[in-house]
């Protein structure tokens, strides 16, 4: 099954979804379309999602929607998504990646000190990971 096929499958399931499943299906549709390279369609479904209903998938939602916002050069909107996540979930499995992306946004907006602090936090979370090494290299080049 292709990503677009998966998106269509979840679109059909969405028609029968109860209130508790709706946000998860919307997220799955958005994810499938994002992986298929259909960013606009992915954002349409992610924007319909109630993130508070995702619980177990909230970190994945933040990471995916943030990456799509960055593709559209919406750094301020991405920061508005990233900052509350980082405050609320400092030890989530996606926190290091979100710090890295948040640092990129801050740097794009001319907030170099803020970007450096976020890169340092990304590095400190796991210096041996790919993201940790990229954070350190980016920090060294600021």
CATH superfamily membership of 74-142: Tetratricopeptide repeat domain (1.25.40.10)
Torsion sign across C-alpha atoms 107, 111, 114, 116: positive
- Report whether 20 contacts 56 (CB < 8 A): no
Q: Tell me, what's the pLDDT at 50?
A: 84
Choose the weakest-confidence range: 27-41, 47-61, 115-129: 47-61
Average pLDDT of 23-36? Answer: 90
User: Taking the domains of the chain in order of start, what are their residue ranges?
Assistant: 1-53, 74-142
Q: Tell me, what's the pLDDT at 6?
A: 59
Confidence check: pLDDT of 3 > 60? no
Helical pair 130-141 and 112-125, crossing angle rounded to 10 deg:
150
Q: Nearest-CA neighbor of 83 among 114, 40, 60?
A: 114
Torsion sign across C-alpha atoms 140, 129, 37, 33: negative
Share above pLDDT 70 across residues of the chain, in percent, rounded to a whole number: 91
Share above pLDDT 90 across residues of the chain, in percent, rounded to a whole number: 73
Residue 103: strand, helix, or coil: helix
Average pLDDT of 118-141? Answer: 96
- Report whether 104 contacts 115 (CB < 8 A): yes
- Mean pLDDT value across the chain: 90
């Amino acid at each position: 099954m292709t990503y677009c096929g998966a998106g269509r499958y979840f679109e059909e399931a969405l028609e029968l979804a109860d209130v508790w499943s709706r946000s998860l299906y919307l997220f799955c549709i958005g994810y499938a379309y994002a992986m298929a390279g259909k960013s606009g369609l992915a954002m349409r479904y992610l924007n319909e999602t109630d993130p508070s209903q995702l619980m177990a998938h909230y970190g994945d939602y933040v990471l995916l929607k943030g990456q799509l916002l960055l593709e559209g050069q919406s750094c301020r909107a991405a920061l508005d998504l990233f900052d509350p996540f980082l405050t609320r979930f400092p030890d989530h499995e996606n926190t290091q990646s979100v710090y890295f992306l948040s640092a990129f946004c801050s740097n794009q907006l001319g907030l170099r000190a803020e970007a450096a602090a976020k890169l340092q936090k990304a590095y400190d979370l796991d210096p041996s990971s790919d993201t940790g090494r990229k954070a350190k290299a980016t920090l060294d080049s600021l």
